Amino acid sequence: MKSIFTMLLLLALIAPAATSQAQKYATKTGTIRFYSEAPAENIEAVNKQVNSALDTQTGDFVFRVLMKGFQFEKALMQEHFNENYVESHKFPNASFIGKVSQDAGIDWEKDGVYETTVSGKLTIKGVSKDVSEKGSFTVKNGTVLGKSTFYIKLADYNVEIPKTVMKNIAETIEINVDVELLPLNN
């Protein structure tokens, strides 16, 4: 899966544009935040090392995140997350490979906020699931800001929660994606 993702990301970034308006955007400093609200304890982690790319002609949109890049308030939470829940040593990355809805009427050349849907495959812990989520792209001064909030069930991605800590971790977690994509071919 890693080589397929790398190949798709490279193609999205270096493939020639078919029209002069086509533009490729990318970042290595996007942010993904997840939040688990549970009766015993809320858990939050932030990762500011998110690689992402967008091709405005095709609508291809990808991101990749190093699982060990998530920072927690408590070191023990971070250790349990990496060793027990997502098994970062076996599954070092999570990724999304998808497309921005072409029906959204996004004018990538005009400043504005555009609500849209992004659909594709989200892969966590080696499990890929089809997802379709609402989000927005803000075009401003030549950059593209992408934002989305969505929810996933941990069990869908084989993240097992031991019974001893079930009250500490929600079965469904909130994920916030926030990327500032800069033009590549100016």
Domain boundaries, given as residue ranges, for the chain? 2-9+24-183
Whole-number Cα distances in Å, 39 to 42, 63, 113, 153, 163: 8, 32, 36, 17, 14
Quote the pLDDT of residue 37: 87
Residue count (the chain) = 186
The CA distance from 59 to 114, in Å, is 14
Flag whether pLDDT at 5 surpasses 60.
Answer: no
Flag whether pLDDT at 19 surpasses 50.
Answer: no
Can you tell me the mean pLDDT for 72-93? 93
Confidence of residue 186 (pLDDT cuts 50, 70, 90): low
Indicate the average pLDDT of the chain. Answer: 87
39 vs 43, higher pLDDT: 43
CATH number of 2-9+24-183: 2.40.128.110
Alpha-carbon dihedral sign for residues 160, 86, 9, 49 = positive
7 vs 126, higher pLDDT: 126
Q: Taking the CB of residue 53, how many other CB atoms lie within 10 A of it?
A: 23
